[in-house]
Copies of this chain bind each other. A is one copy, B any other.
Amino acid sequence: MSSSPGRAGTPPTLADVAELAGVSRQTVSNAVNNPDLLRADTLERVQQAIDELGYLPNRAARNLRTRASHLIGMRIKPAQEGTANATMDRFVHSLVDTSREAGYHVLLFSGELDDPLAGYDDLLRSTAVDAFVISDTFLGNPQAAWLETKRAPFVAFGRPWDNPVARHPWVDVDGAAGCELATNHLLDRGHERIAWIGWRKDSFIGEDRRAGWARAMRTRGLSTTGLASRVEDTVASGREAATVLLDEARPSGFVCASDTLAMGVLHALSERGLLPGRDIAVVGFDDSQVAQVVPPGLTSVRQPLEDVAIETVKALEGLLAHPPTASAGVLLKPSLVVRGSSGPE
């Protein structure tokens, strides 16, 4: 490790490399950004100087000049306690990995709970990020409309439910297909009275997932009457809903809009001495850690978040290209992870 020319702590600059290699600063810049412009021997010499000094372009300077930060902003909501919901954390992991391969880093920020726009504006106006990934589209997404008026590049994880004509790129997972998968799985195992526990009606995602259950039932000519419940996404609500359904509808299986609700069902079963998988089948949604480790394993719909991240970054790259290319929406298919809670074997 050779000592840099300045004081330790001040990384070498383009000028340092240029001096050491005996070329101009511009040539060093070209060596870094357009190597094919240089003659082979010059490139070699510059590269050697770069290696010797451990040179890497200063981000701030490059950002200032190129008007790009190579940063993707993503707002995260406070961690939800008491639920099984960690989809966004898993997505962030995938996004960080995928972004890195595309030369981007992920900048996380948080905002006031009540203001869905907080945080975006500052980052945008200070040109701190090149684009956003928005994700909390649970009940529609005001961010999308707002960002569009600001002409800010962004990709949404989640369909523009409340605005079908929206033009921005989005990536989503087909929740209806997932629940259809889950329901068919139980139907294939001989269940006929399959109950649904989902979210309140104002949730677009919840209604979508519910539709998958209903479709599967209808397709087999089975009635859904009295078999559905719509509640808050909490364990307690899931437990109560399950208790009521068990008494009033006598289902042999449950398909739930979330692992959180499914855990509520497990609570209800446990209270009655019923065993999931043996006495009553249960399927959740999200393949959370909870689903993975709870005995006897919770069968659950798994979103392909790695693929969501890949498609998201792909769309992002299009948006940030010159000229920008807006991609269409992408809808991915989830899979079903079968575990003990949906029956033996």
Contact = CB atoms under 8 A, between A and B. Distances in A.
A254 B228 CA distance: 39
B97 A89 contact: no
Contact of A100 (B84, B109, B127, B271): B109
Interface string A278-305: 0000000000111011111000000000
Interface in A65-119: 67, 69, 71, 76, 78-79, 81-86, 89-90, 92-93, 96-97, 100, 105-110
Contacts of A34: none
A56 B126 contact: yes
Interface stretch (A161-169, A259-267, A313-321, A325-333): A259-267
Count of identical protomers in the assembly: 2
A82 B293 contact: yes
A59 B128 contact: yes
Given A56-B126, A78-B97, A290-B293, A86 B89 contact: yes
Interface in A41-63: 54-61, 63
A58 B123 CA distance: 10
A84 B290 CA distance: 7
Interface in A118-176: 122, 125-128, 151
